[in-house]
Amino acid sequence: MSRLKILALLPLAVLLSGCNFVVMAPAGDIAVQQRDLIVISTVLMLLIVLPVMALTVWFAWRYRHSNDAAKYDPDWDHSTGLELVIWSAPLAIIICLGAITWMGTHLLDPYRSLDRIAHDRPIDRAKAPLEVDVVALDWKWLFIYPEYGIASLNELAAPVDRPISFRITASSVMNSFYIPALAGMIYAMPGMETKLHAVVNHAGTYKGFSANYSGAGFSGMRFDFHGLDDAGFEQWVAKTKASSDTLGRTEYLALEKPSANEPARGFGTVDADLYRAILNMCVEPGKMCMSEMMAIDARGGNGMAGLRNTLPLAYDKYARRGTALGPEPSFVAGTCTIDEPQGRVTAQVRDSSPLLGAGLKRPPLFTPLGSSTSLLFAPASKSES
């Protein structure tokens, strides 16, 4: 190859130097299966694409104007053999692609528990998976380890060959949780919970980030995922436990305010009910949880007194994120105290009598937060805002 050709290829080499092929060389079994699905699908499609491209060039050369040796047959209109080739080969490939996609959709369902650690190692059912609660904040990631009572900001760790069970939600806007070396992208949405089951098979530090644009600080929503051996993970847990920082409801409300490029740090103690409160959008003291609303709605609603139950959405959209837009912070008062619904997925109202909307008096615009006789729109105090 001449020096001129080598010099011409240098710009291409510079451009390719910025590529990261982690998707094609992952560290976790789920990501490996996804990689294999990409490779198999690409090869199957190339079985049609490459011959078509080659035949296009061959026909253009074979039947060029200057080639008098090519047979000219303007009345040709049908060939059974050619029709069979044209239609049967793509049909067979489509059937293969459909079968692979169907199996991959079910076997790689992020909600599906793992049944293997790697292609040659079944899962040990006696070994409980590591549970991690993921919260997408503006613009940072919060990871809560309920088993250990700790949490970390913009840093995630897990032991090698131990299944990981992620529960994922968001504080304000939709985001996307993605560790290319571990598994596929999973959305994080406020008031909703998505799940992901994965495992890391090789020790190392891998990049995680948000794959869904969520505002000005989006580019800083990156974190390190550490795949550690059992001893290394225990050391990481002990180091996090030694942190003097705590993460209760008050600390979380300060943490969730928009901020970018936050350094990684740990929290030695965490409110055991914090993730449930985040998921139910009721971290603020006295605010009604979505689980309470759903329990009331399942029993027939709360009549005229429940007309304002949709107003927390406006509060969460504006005031909760620290923006100057929107009204003063306000929310529907809860029927339970903060400590009352501990450990319960859904909260029950205190009065067990049937709730009927007929005949109720029109509620006042405001009611004290301490009142438990009705579920009304109540203003937050300055300390809560």
Note the pLDDT of residue 37. 92
Low-confidence ranges of the chain (pLDDT < 50): 310-315, 317, 321, 323-326, 341, 343-355, 365-385
User: What pLDDT does 99 receive?
Assistant: 93
Distances, alpha carbon 184 to alpha carbons 31, 199, 352, in Å: 7, 12, 45
How far is residue 87's CA from residue 312's CA, in Å, rounded to a whole number? 57
**pLDDT for 56:** 92
User: What homologous superfamily is domain 121-279 in, according to CATH?
Assistant: Cupredoxins -  blue copper proteins (2.60.40.420)
Domain boundaries, the chain: 19-62+79-108, 121-279, 284-385
Residue 53 has a pLDDT of 93
At 9 the pLDDT is 65
**Consecutive H or E run containing 93:** helix 80-107
pLDDT at 111: 93
Residue 91: in which H helix or E strand, if any?
helix 80-107
Degrees, nearest 5: CA angle 10-16-18: 120
Instruction: Supply the pLDDT for residue 384.
Output: 41
Dihedral Cα 93, 32, 129, 102, nearest 10 deg: -10
- The model's pLDDT over 56-73, given as tens digits with 9 standing for 90+, comes to 999 889 888 888 888 887
DSSP 154-222: SEEEEETT--EEEEEEESSS-EEEE-TTT---EEE-BT--EEEEE---S-EEEEEEE-S--STTGGG-E
pLDDT digits 0-9 by tens, 334-349? 666 555 545 444 444 4
The predicted pLDDT at position 301 comes to: 67
pTM to 2 decimals?
0.74
Predicted confidence at residue 279, as pLDDT, reads: 92
